[in-house]
Chain A
Amino acid sequence: MRRDIEQFLSATGEIGFVEKAVSSLVYARGLPGARQNEVVVFDSGEIGRVVALHESQVELLSFSREAVRIGSRVARTDTFLELPLGGEVLGATIDPLGYSIDPTRPLPPMKEARPLDIVPSGIETRLRITRPARTGVTLIDRMIPIGKGQRELVVGDQKTGKSHFLLSSLLTHVREGGVGVYAVIGKGKIDTKKIEESFRALDVQNRIVLVVSHIDDPASIIYLTPYAAMTVAEYFRDMGNDVLVVLDDLSMHAKIHRELSLLGRRFPGRNSYPGDMFYTHSRLLERAGNFVTPKGERAITCFPVAEAPQGDITGYIQTNLMSMTDGHLFFDHVLFSQGRRPAVDPFLSVTRVGRQTQSPLEHEIARELVAFLKNAERLHGFVSFGAELGEHIKRTLEKESEILQYLDQTEYDSIPSPVQVFLFGVVWNDLWQGHTRPVIRQMIKTLIESYGAKPDIRRQIDNIVASSDSVKALGIFIRDFAPKYLGMK
């Protein structure tokens, strides 16, 4: 969308002339009344933003794909960057300035526009996180639970199943009536296509907004992407929805911020990142949370993603993000190569507020699972010495294998929470003892299908889970009912 510079020149009565352009950064003389973050228009009709005010120059960030000509005119607009928003944006794929990336399907004019960058709302608008944000992934919902409004970092190497987990979480969130926002930050066009197709295949595209920038877009556009995604999330929160926003990924965003800062000759800090790196990301993530709105309690749950090359989670950006989020899920490439799906390391992953959303039963399940798997891991070290194994140890290792089957989600995108609890009861009470892997997979499949298709079974499972206040009580119900539901003799 191009704007007419003449109109703004007359309206503001101010003009600037471009003196220097370095990548997306433009230096102009003039514009005496320019303000920080104000939108400017270039001669070409493309827009930019004021990023710094120097003694004799104004530093601008151009959002133009073409290089800005030296000597060309610049005009102030007396406005700040805003994203046009409305219900029509649901199901659309937009760029960070709010335009559809598909020129054949432009968006209609929107009724509302919201600023891209705002000061996060204060403590008086926030509530304690009390509602669980289900992801549909058993390992996470049972062992590293997440609450609605929580910011949970998703960190791991490339190709460790992060995207699959994010899709599964969005699917579960949308099925529960929420809205999803997926920010694709500086990735290839093929990645955007894949994500779009996945949403279409799961039939959730109409409840999700994709905010995308591609690797060949100007750095300034890539930089704006997570802010635009957060603005979309805030809009739908205020419309009365719980929103899940995925920022994929902030390592790329940090690199772009570094690129722009170095081009702007800002003083480099650790790994050449600028001094305001922490501030940039924390200010963004602070916009998520559990809020009190005129329409009641509504949450923006946020999953920022960070890459951890070679599984190294001690990098600058990774540790920064860990310290500003409410926990992290570590996707381990070693576990992935062992065939674990999801490849989340439950012992290196953290949730800081998710446990407070769990019922006493769920709390107990999480505790039992973590303690058991930790113990089993210790036994593996013992077994590797070649010691003769006692019956107790053998059984523990067998049970560990059964639990890993329970946690394995190669075939399913999303497992409903009551089914997860019910299946825990099955594995914890040794009902899978002696069964082979294919048989166990078949039992899980049967139960998930029955739960989805048969309302009476769903009601009964929901009742069993709701009336169990401890693992022991759950076990009593499970022994009576599970064989019937699982098709066991």
Chain B
Amino acid sequence: MEEFISRFLSFIRTIDERDLARAGIGVLKESLYRSFPKEFHEVLRTKFSTRTGDCLRDFFSKPSYLRNPDLIKADLEAVLGAIDAMRILRLEVAIEPSDAFVDRIAGWVLSNLGSDIVLDIARDRTVVGGARIVFLGKYRENTLVDMVKNVFETKRDVVMKELL
């Protein structure tokens, strides 16, 4: 189960995807008692992304689940708990994040920090370059603005000499 949850969480990259998965699991739980398994598969197809939907379908197609909606419900709740416990890594960047950008960052996070981390990427033009990083209440500013400010503060004489 743990392995499955870890694999499922690895497909959730951002907080938007997390909210989508959370809402989908809610609908999926309700579908268990409405013409199961037809409705169940319909929800998996329409309410989830391809990757998360396929992951759930593979896992719940095991014979032990076939005639046991209560068991599926219990496991879905465990998945929901794991989603709620995901830690948020907030990045403030100057650009509008593209899918490739999100993929690259999420890939790095997955391989370096683990699967229980979800990205919250926000756009802030004042960052100019680099990023502001917030994780578990820790704040780090690795921005171009900050670097320039530091240079002006610590090497003021050198800068002035170059300018004049």
Residue in A9, A32, A75 whose beta carbon sits within 8 Å of that of B136 in the complex: A32
Instruction: Considering the complex, give the chain A residue whose CB is closest to the CB of B126.
Output: A6
- Give bound CA distance, A85 to B134, whole Å: 37
Q: B39 interface residue, CB < 8 Å from A?
A: no
* CB proximity of B38 to chain A, nearest CB, Å: 40
**What is the predominant secondary structure among interface residues of chain A facing chain B?**
mixed
Instruction: Considering the complex, give the chain B residue whose CB is closest to the CB of A32.
Output: B137
Encode contact with A along B124-139: 1 for CB under 8 Å, 0 otherwise.
0000000000101111
Tell me which residues across on chain A come within 8 A of B139, comparing CB atoms: 9-10, 12-15, 75
Instruction: Considering the complex, give the chain A residue whose CB is closest to the CB of B132.
Output: A9
Tell me which residues across on chain A come within 8 A of B161, comparing CB atoms: none
Question: Do A10 and B146 have beta carbons less than 8 Å apart?
Answer: yes
Question: Do B141 and A29 have beta carbons less than 8 Å apart?
Answer: no
Question: Do B137 and A30 have beta carbons less than 8 Å apart?
Answer: yes
Q: B34 interface residue, CB < 8 Å from A?
A: no
Question: Do B146 and A16 have beta carbons less than 8 Å apart?
Answer: no
- Give bound CA distance, A31 to B136, whole Å: 8
Encode contact with B along A1-33: 1 for CB under 8 Å, 0 otherwise.
000000001101111100000000000011111
- CB contacts under 8 Å to B, within A12-69, are 12-16, 29-33
- Give bound CA distance, A284 to B22, whole Å: 50
Tell me which residues across on chain B come within 8 A of A32, comparing CB atoms: 136-138
- CB contacts under 8 Å to A, within B69-115, are none
Tell me which residues across on chain B come within 8 A of A31, comparing CB atoms: 137
Encode contact with A along B30-60: 1 for CB under 8 Å, 0 otherwise.
0000000000000000000000000000000
Instruction: Considering the complex, give the chain A residue whose CB is closest to the CB of B149.
Output: A10
Question: Do A15 and B146 have beta carbons less than 8 Å apart?
Answer: no
Tell me which residues across on chain A come within 8 A of B141, comparing CB atoms: 9-10
Instruction: Considering the complex, give the chain B residue whose CB is closest to the CB of A12.
Output: B139
Tell me which residues across on chain A come within 8 A of B138, comparing CB atoms: 13-15, 32
Instruction: Considering the complex, give the chain A residue whose CB is closest to the CB of B145.
Output: A6
Q: B140 interface residue, CB < 8 Å from A?
A: yes
Q: Which among A14, A15, A31, A33 has the highest number of chain B CB atoms within 10 Å?
A: A15
* CB proximity of A160 to chain B, nearest CB, Å: 53
- CB contacts under 8 Å to B, within A334-390, are none
- Give bound CA distance, A364 to B138, whole Å: 70
Rank and list the top 8 A-B pairs by shortest CB-CB distance, nearest first. A30-B137, A15-B139, A32-B137, A9-B139, A15-B134, A31-B137, A13-B139, A14-B137
For the A-B complex with A9-B141, A10-B146, A15-B139 known, give 6 more contacts whose Cβ atoms are closer than 8 Å. Answer: A10-B139, A12-B139, A13-B138, A30-B134, A31-B137, A32-B136
B interface, CB within 8 angstroms of A:
134, 136-141, 146
A interface, CB within 8 angstroms of B:
9-10, 12-16, 29-33, 75
List 11 A–B pairs whose Cβ atoms lie within 8 Å, in order of A's numbering.
Answer: A12-B139, A13-B140, A14-B138, A15-B134, A16-B137, A30-B137, A31-B137, A32-B137, A32-B138, A33-B137, A75-B139
